[in-house]
Amino acid sequence: MLWRKFNGERIHIPIKDEVKNAIIRETRNGFHLKVCIGTDSQVKGAETEFATVIVFLREGHGGFMFIHNEKTRKQFSIKERMLVEVAKSIEIAYELCDLFTQYDVDMEVHADINTNPQFKSNEALREAMGYILGMGFAFKAKPEAFASSSCANKVVN
């Protein structure tokens, strides 16, 4: 998986190593960290692009993020696409969760799913919530899910 920083700089080591280095660096600098993981997608013609982000929040001092983009020509219903977004976020959260436990960093998985039943994405809310909570992760949906609905949304081309 190719990951990059927000400035476009490619990450050339495994993402787990990069995250570990970031946690060590930031905590040494005196920051209390929280990590939010989210995925958003956009359909353009026959292609669907997914952007997954790992957002690091420095309590009271801004933050930074790592980004992974992926494209597919597979067609999805809205519900399927929302659940694929959640699955991509959970995959990364699961890969990194032992680091967050080891370094005592709070982590949330953010789903770009609207809590308002009038929106189509709401169809996937119950399954997404069950999936995330069933994995033992903290969960946020719109409007609190800024990692997916704001951060990932900005970097999905």
Q: What pLDDT is attached to residue 142?
A: 87
Q: What confidence tens digit (pLDDT) does each residue in 33-58 have?
A: 999 999 999 999 999 999 999 999 99
What is the β-pairing status of strands 138-142 and 106-114? parallel
Separation of alpha carbons 156 and 52, rounded Å: 9
The DSSP output letter for 155 is: H
> What's residue 46's pLDDT?
94
- For every residue of 81-123, DSSP letters joined together read HHHHHHHHHHHHHHHHHHHHHHTT-EEEEEEEEESSTTSGGGG
Instruction: Provide the 3-class DSSP secondary structure of residue 26.
Output: helix
Q: What is the CATH number of the domain that holds 43?
A: 3.30.420
Copy the structure tokens of residue 35: 């990590």
**Domain coverage including residue 98:** 3-155
Do β-strands 10-11 and 3-5 pair in parallel, antiparallel, or remain unpaired? Answer: antiparallel
Torsion angles phi and psi, residue 24, rounded to 5: -60, -45
pLDDT of residue 126: 87
Number of domains in the chain: 1
Which parts of the chain have pLDDT scores under 70?
157
